Chain A
Amino acid sequence: QQQVKQSPQSLIVQKGGISIINCAYENTAFDYFPWYQQFPGKGPALLIAIRPDVSEKKEGRFTISFNKSAKQFSLHIMDSQPGDSATYFCAASPGPFGNEKLTFGTGTRLTIIP
């Protein structure tokens, strides 16, 4: 019940296209859903996050869509650029005290080709 399932494992998108990564969870206590971007040799960096009281959040080219009833959330990257090539992790945590365990998805390796 603690798992977060992420797909696809890898994704190749042409420059200018839309990249879509999906995640699903089981634990209804999860209250905070961030996406992290990680480049080789670097730590994960927070990209965008959402809470279950909204169904969509947009920051620049990045959008999270959240479906509470289906227990699914996804990351859309619009106008994908070669610089977006990285590994993306979705995550979830219960969240009431800001010191809870983050459960990560398995990661998606995104490659943007020119």
Chain B
Amino acid sequence: DTEVTQTPKHLVMGMTNKKSLKCEQHMGHRAMYWYKQKAKKPPELMFVYSYEKLSINESVPSRFSPECPNSSLLNLHLHALQPEDSALYLCASSPGGAVGAAKNIQYFGAGTRLSVL
């Protein structure tokens, strides 16, 4: 099973709302990622969690707040977003670690389509 599950699939929110995106994997992967993807563009890395600790923050605005409650779950809390934040938000996971040919393979979820009004 190489499934990364994201909920919700679609989200519409106003600029004053607070919402959360959820990501779950049960592959025992130790690294989890949030990406943002605009139409006809490649995914852009936002955050990386490694062994439940934030290891990379790509200078993302503070209105996006990641959280890793345990090794299987990754949340992205959204607050006071702007219309330009409308995009497909993708979660991914990889085995991680220093050993093994498959350590780098990132498995992506289907994404949450976010619209900010």
Contacts and interface: CB of A to CB of B under 8 A. Distances in A.
Nearest to B44: A104
B79 interface: no
B43 A104 contact: yes
Interface residues of B, number: 33
A99 B55 contact: yes
Contacts of A93: 104
B36 to A, nearest CB: 12
Interface residues of A, number: 27
26 contacts: A34-B105, A41-B110, A43-B4, A43-B108, A44-B43, A44-B90, A46-B107, A49-B104, A49-B105, A89-B42, A93-B104, A97-B98, A97-B103, A98-B30, A98-B31, A98-B96, A98-B97, A98-B98, A98-B104, A99-B30, A99-B31, A99-B94, A100-B48, A101-B48, A106-B42, A107-B42
Given A89-B43, A109-B40, 11 more contacts: A36-B108, A44-B90, A44-B108, A46-B106, A89-B42, A96-B98, A97-B98, A99-B30, A99-B48, A101-B58, A102-B45
Interface string B85-117: 000001010111110110111111111010000
B27 interface: no
